[in-house]
Structure 1
Amino acid sequence: MSDIANTSFFNDVCAFFDHAAQFTKHPAGLLDQIKACNSVYRFRFPIRRGNGSVEVIDAWRVEHSHHMSPTKGGIRYSEMVNEDEVMALAALMTYKCAIVNVPFGGAKGGIKINTRNYNIGELENITRRFTVELVKKNFIGPAIDVPAPDYGSGEREMSWIADTYYTMNPGQLDAMGCVTGKPIALHGIQGRREATGRGVAIAIRECVGVAEDMKELGLTPGIEGKRVIVQGLGNVGYHTTKFLSELGAVIVGLCEYEGAIYNSNGLNLEEVVSHRKDTGSILGFKGAEKEFKNSSMGLEQECDILVPAALENQITSANIGHIKAKIIAEAANGPTSPEAAAAFTERGGIIIPDMYCNAGGVTVSYFEWLKNLSHVAFGRMDKRYEENANLNLVTMVEKMTGVSLSQEQRSLVVKGASELELVNSGLEDTMVRSYHEIREIKMNNPKIVDLRTAAFVGAIEKVAVSYMNMGIWP
C-alpha cells in the first residue's frame, strides 16, 4: 500500500488510524489498544506433494480485536502474503465491521502459496492441515474466530474448512458456523458469492446520488451514464461491473494482470469474459478501441469512477497524477497509498474507502453466521404466511373496489420474500445507512476532509464504546 517498498502496510493502516484519532477524545491507552493486533499466530506445517516430496507451508492467522466475539476475516491464498499484510487486513476488518454495525472483531488469515502450482488434492490437503492447526490453538470456532473466503480462496476451500472443523468437533450443534462463504448445500446462504460486488455498486450509487457532492466534482447526480473503469475481473470485480452496468453506468475500461482494454462508448462485460475464457486474455477483444499491455495504463484513461478491485498498492504517488477519475471506489483492500490518497483528496476527488466500500462480503457473512446459529433459512418460517396474508388483502381490496388485478400483477403483490431477496434487502440497507452515517461525520466536522477519515472516526468511536463497556476504561 505504501509508496516506499520497505514501508509496512500495517503501519499505513495505523497512519490512517492516527490521523483520524486526533478527531476523537479518547485517552492514548485506549487508542493504542484499539490499534494493536491482539493475537498474531504464525505457523509452518509440512504437506506431501503428489510426486511424493514434502513441502513446508507458511501460514498466519491474526485476531486484531477482541472487543466483540467472534472475530471475523478471510483467508488469503497468495505467494505474496506475509505477516504484515495479514495484520493490516485484520485491522481493516475490525474497522469495517464497526462501520457497518456487524458485531465481530477483526481477523485475517494467510497461506503463502500460489494456488496455480498445486492440484486440487494438494490444495485440499493444505486447507485441511491449516484448519487443524487453527483448531489446535483455539483460533477457529463459531464463537471464537470465523474465517471466510479472500483472494485465492472460495466456496470449495470453505467447505473443506467446515468439514475438517466438524470432524474434530463431533456433535457440536453450531459447527457449520465456524466459517462463512460456504456452498449453499453446506449451509451457505443465497447471495454471498456476489455480496461484495453488489455492496460496492450500492456504495457507488449512494455516493453519486448526493447532488451537493457531485456538483463540486462537476458531475450530474445519479449513476446513469457514469463512465467506469474496473481493475480486476475476479469475483468482486466481475460482480461490481455487472451490477454497475445494470444500474446504468457505462463500463469504459477493464484491467487485468495481462493488460487493459478501453472503449469510450462502453464494453460488454459478458463478451469480454467470454473472450478471456477462449483466449486466456482480455487483450485482443474486438470491442476495444485501445488496449495496453501494461495494465496500470488502463487506470489512467478517461472516466468518472475508478474501481480498483485487485490487490493493495495499485494507486501510488507514482501514478496518482495521471489518474483522471473524479471518484475512486476501493473495492480491493488498501489499493491507494496514503500519499496518493492525500493528493487525490487535495485536488477535490472523492475516495470511497475500502473498509466501507467492500463491506458487503462481511455483511452477508454475518447473515450466513446467523443462519447457521439459528439452523433455519431466512424466509422459511414466514414466506408462505406472508403470501397468504397478502393474497387475502388483495382479494378484499378487489371486492371493495371492483378492480381485478392481472395474474402478473397479483403475483407481484402477493409474493413473499425469498432468502436471496431478504439477504439483498439487508445488504442494501446496511450499505445505504453506513454511507450516509460516514458522510454525516464528515459534514459535521469541517476539519475532516475525506470519507476515509470520517469512516475511521466512526469506527474508533464504536470500538471504544465496546471496550469501555467492558469496564477496562472508565
Structure 2
Amino acid sequence: MSTTKKYNPYDNVQAVVKNAASILGYSHDDYEAVLFPERELKVSIPIRMDDGSVHVFEGYRVQHSTSRGPAKGGIRYHQNVNIDEVKALAAWMTFKCAVVNIPYGGGKGGIVCDPSKLSDSELRRLTRRFTAMIAPIIGPDQDIPAPDVGTNANVMGWIMDTYSMLKGHCVPGVVTGKPLELGGALGRHEATGRGVMLTTLNILKALDIPVKGSTAVIQGMGNVGSISAKLIHKAGLKVIAVSDVSCGIYNPEGLNIPEIIEYLSAKKGNLLKDYKGDGVSYISNEELLELKTTVLVPAALENQINEKNAKKIQAKVIVEGANGPTTVEADEILKKRGIILVPDILANAGGVVVSYFEWVQNIQSVSWSEEYVNERLKTIMDQAFQAVWDIAREKDTSLRTGAYLIAVKRVVDAKNLRGIWP
C-alpha cells in the first residue's frame, strides 16, 4: 500500500506562513487565527440542463481574512475544484493583497464543473443560481469576486446583474473583471499578465541578466499565460515554448507569439496540438517545464513543480504566473540548486491590483484611462518587488519567504491591532 501523502495546497500555505512567522519572532498566539479561514460556505446548486434534466453542482465561497478590508478573490469553474484548493487560494489572496499593500483581505470561490461541456445558457443559469446562494456573504463592502480559471468577464457580468436584481438597484462594485460596458476597468484584462511581465523585467534587472538574448518558457495559454507571453515577447525576450491543455510547442529559435495568440483566439476550441508553425516541435507539459531557458513562467494550475521534477528544472529564474504552482518540497530543491523563484503572491498580483482600481472607480463613480491604470500598476508592482528583494537579501532568505515576511506581518499586525472580538 502506498504511503505517499496526498498533495494538499492548504498545507503548503500553512507551512510558509509558519516559517515567516517564526522568522518575524511571532508567538503561536500572534498568528494562530491567520492559519484558519474566517468563513467557509458550501452550496448545492440545482440547474435545469438544456435537455430538461436537473443536475446538482457543488460550489464554494471561502473568506480567509477580512482583517485589512473586504475579502477579494476569483471564482473558478473547474472539474477538480475542492474545498482545500479553494481555502488555499483564498489564503494566497490574503497575502497577495498584503504584499502589494492594497486594502483587501482574501477570498475565493469555485464550482465543480467542466465549463467546456456546458452551453452558454447552462453556464448562465449555473452562475445566476450560485450568485443567489452566496449573495448573503458577498458585496462591495464584504467580498468582491473576480474571474479565475474557467470564468471570464461575461460570467462576472451575470454575477453583477444577478446581485443587482436581488438588491433592487445596480451594484457594479460587487465584482471586478466585468465587461467595460458594465463598469469594468480599462487594463484589467491584461493586468495579471502585465504584472508577470513587469516582475520578469524586475528580476532580470536585479540579477544583472540582459533582456536581449534571454529566453522564456510559458506553461499555460489562458488569460494569464497568453498575455504574459505576448508582453514578455514584446519586451524583447525570445519565447521558445508555450503550452495549453493539449500539449506544448517548442522552437529554440523563438515562437511567433502574435500568430499563436491569434490562432488560439480565432475560434473557440482551437488548441496548440493543431497549430502548424515554422520550426515548431510538439512536446508534453512535463517536457516544457524542464527546458533550458532563462525564465520559466508556470501559468497553469497549482502543483506543477514538485519534488518529482524540481531536480530537472533548467530555468535560471521562475516567475509564478499561476497560484501555487510550486510545492514546499520543490522550493527547497530549487533553492539548493540556486534557481531564483519569484513567488505567486508577488508575481501575479497585477490582476488584484487593477481589480482594486476597478472597485475604486465603481464605488466612487469615476473613470480612469488605460494609460493611468498601467502607470499606477507599474508603480505598485515595482515598489512591491523592491521591498521583497530588499528584505530577502537582508534576511538571507528566498524571495518567497521575503514576500511572506512582508505579507504575514501586515496581516498579523492588522489582526492583532483590531483584537479578538468580543
TM-score by length of 1: 0.85
- Secondary structure of the 2:188 match is coil
Equivalent residue runs for 1:382-461 within 5 Å = 419-446=369-396, 448=397, 450-461=398-409
**CA distance in 1 between partners of 2:242 and 2:279 (Å):** 10
Partner of 1:263: 251
Residue 32 of structure 1: how far off its partner (Å): 1.1
Is the 1:261–1:282 Cα contact (8 Å) retained in structure 2?
A: yes
Q: Which residue of 2 aligns with 1:176?
A: 172
1:291 aligns with 2:289: no
Deviations 1:106-140 (A, max 9, x none): 000001110011100110000000110011xx211
Percent sequence identity over aligned pairs: 38
C-alpha distance in structure 2 between counterparts of 1:262 and 1:100, whole Å: 34
The equivalent of 2:182 in structure 1 is 186
Equivalences, count: 416
For 2:225, the equivalent position in structure 1 comes to 237
Cα–Cα, structure 1 residues 179 and 149, in superposed 2: closer, same or farther, change >3 Å? same
The answer on 1:332 being equivalent to 2:322 is yes
**Which position in structure 1 is the counterpart of 2:61?**
61
TM-score, normalised to structure 2, is 0.95
Q: Separation in 2 of the partners of 1:455 and 1:433?
A: 12
Q: Which position in structure 1 is the counterpart of 2:107?
A: 107
Relative to structure 1, is the Cα distance of residues 281 and 5 closer, same or farther in structure 2, using a 3 angstrom cutoff? farther
Kindly indicate whether the alpha-carbon contact (under 8 Å) linking 1:74 and 1:149 is maintained by their aligned counterparts in 2: yes
Matched-pair contact (CA < 8 Å) for 1:273–1:282: no
Q: Counterpart of 1:368 in 2: which secondary structure?
A: helix
Offset at residue 5 of structure 1 (A): 5.7
Which one-letter code corresponds to 1:453 in the other structure? T
Q: How far did 1:30 drift?
A: 2.3
Partner AA of 1:182 in structure 2: K
Aligned ranges 1:38-437 → 2 under 5 Å: 38-135=38-135, 138-171=136-169, 175-210=171-206, 214=207, 220-276=208-264, 277=266, 280-283=270-273, 285-292=276-283, 294-378=284-368, 419-437=369-387
The 8 Å contact of residues 68 and 466 in structure 1, kept in 2 or not, is answered as: yes
| Aligned residues of 1:100 and 1:431 also touching (Cα < 8 A) | yes
Residue ranges of structure 2 left out of the alignment (5+ in a row):
none
SS in 2 for 1:103: coil
Aligned mates of 1:295, 1:452 — CA distance in 2: 24
Structure 1, 464-473 or 142-151: larger mean CA deviation? 464-473
Offset at 1:240?
0.4
Question: Following the alignment from structure 1 to structure 2, what is the Cα–Cα distance between the partners of residues 122 and 261?
Answer: 33
- Unmatched tracts of structure 1, length 5 or more: 215-219, 379-418
Look up the equivalent residue of 1:252 and give its one-letter code: I
Q: CA RMSD in A?
A: 1.6
What per-residue deviation string (whole Å, max 9, x for no partner) do you get for residues 190-214 of structure 1? Answer: 000000000000011111101xxx3
Shift of 1:275: 4.4
Q: Shift of the alpha carbon at 1:25?
A: 2.1
**Residues of 1 paired with 2:279 and 2:28: CA distance?**
53
- Give me the whole-angstrom Cα distance separating, in 1, the residues matched to 2:401 and 2:386: 14
CA contact (8 A) 1:272 1:285 kept: no
1:407-463 CA distance string (max 9 Å, x none)? xxxxxxxxxxxx1011001110111000010111111113x2x00011111111111
- Given that 1:205 and 1:222 are in contact with CA atoms closer than 8 Å, whether structure 2 keeps it comes out as no
- How big is the shift at 1:470? 1.1
Structure 1 residue 466 corresponds to structure 2 residue 421: no
Alignment partner, residue 23 of structure 1? 23
Q: Is the 8 A contact 1:261 1:290 kept in 2?
A: yes
Give 1:274 deviation, angstroms. Answer: 4.0
Give the letter aligned to residue 206 of structure 1: N
